Amino acid sequence: MTPLLKTEGLTVTFGGLNANDGVDLIVEAGSFVGLIGPNGAGKTTFIDAITGYVPTSSGTANFDGHDLSALKPHKRSQLGLVRTFQSLELFEDLSVRDNLLVAAHPARWYTLVLDILHLRQQTPEVDARVDWALEVVGLSEQADVLPTDLPHGQRKLVGVARALAPQPKLVLLDEPAAGLDTAESSALGDHLRGLLNHDITVFLVDHDMGLVLSVCDYIYVMDFGQIIAAGTPTEIRTNPDVRAAYLGEETGEAQTRYAEELHDLTGSEDER
């Protein structure tokens, strides 16, 4: 099988720090792949590098037969490589639906003003894609409200839906479950898993270990910019290097968070 996304030796350097350090990673078409790791491991940097938001210092990235290195972010999204952002960046003055309409044409990011003026004249095809994206994340009934009027959990879902509106081949999600409670996270997982039925491959970065372990087919674990483990959810749960990476953290707040994540890892193991 040809990988949809493949990186070899991908390295991103900030000053003297290798935020990504020789990352070899494969995402097969039609699969659901996770990337986990402690705070500062380099997960967002990886998404930034793949989508062209930070330059790579060495290594290669190939998407759907295209060498990505020379391509600007909007070219990459035109190829079907679309991301969400860890920090929510919605247009607060536009309705949920209009937030998606603006994103439905990746080529038009630079003519945003025109888009806004012509929002009501979108083609039926674009309308259908926006309706579909809203339905996928369960936001059809919130289409006409402003994002500011939604609870945090649903605002996160608007960000996911916006990434889906262009109907990408691969969607890279950076912590979509942050701020969601367990029930919302589980519902999100069901929606995301359903994307595979729409020929959308999913790459998920999240700290919600329950979500990652339950929805992913394959999981990479990053620490200090390097992939320290990779495998099925079952393999990751029992991998000693993974547990060491989570236990090795020393600062108080982070330690509490990792303890919870570790509990997810261990708890799931104990339940079996």
Ligand X SMILES: Nc1ncnc2c1ncn2[C@@H]1O[C@H](COP(=O)(O)OP(=O)(O)OP(=O)(O)O)[C@@H](O)[C@H]1O
Question: How many chain residues touch Mg ion (CB under 5 A)?
Answer: 3
Tokens 């190829």 locate to: 79
Nearer to ligand X by Cβ, of 81 and 165: the residue is 81
Backbone phi, then psi, for 209, in 5-degree steps?
-65, -35
- Kindly state whether residue 45 participates in binding Mg ion, applying the rule CB under 5 A: no
- Kindly state whether residue 34 participates in binding ligand X, applying the rule CB under 6 A: no
Nearer to Mg ion by Cβ, of 47 and 100: the residue is 47
- Kindly state whether residue 19 participates in binding ligand X, applying the rule CB under 6 A: yes
Contact pick of 7, 23, 33, 42 for ligand X (by CB under 6 A): 42
Q: 23 with 11: CB under 8 angstroms? A: yes
Nearer to ligand X by Cβ, of 38 and 106: the residue is 38
Using the contact rule CB under 6 A, the part of the chain among 35-43, 136-144, 165-173, 180-188 near ligand X is 35-43
Tokens 């708890």 locate to: 267
- Kindly state whether residue 41 participates in binding ligand X, applying the rule CB under 6 A: yes
- Kindly state whether residue 106 participates in binding ligand X, applying the rule CB under 6 A: no
Say which entry of ligand X, Mg ion, none residue 19 contacts (CB below 5 to 8 A, set by partner kind). Answer: ligand X
Near ligand X in 73-102, by CB under 6 A: 86
| 222, β-bridge pairs | 227
Contact pick of 20, 44, 84, 99 for Mg ion (by CB under 5 A): 44
Contact pick of 34, 37, 159, 210 for ligand X (by CB under 6 A): 37
Strands of 170-174's sheet in order across: 81-83, 170-174, 201-205, 32-36, 218-223, 226-231
- Kindly state whether residue 43 participates in binding ligand X, applying the rule CB under 6 A: yes
Q: Which value, to the nearest 10 degrees, does the dihedral of the CA atoms of residues 187, 193, 199, 200 take?
A: 80
Binding residues vs ligand X (CB under 6 A): 14, 17, 19, 37, 39-45, 86
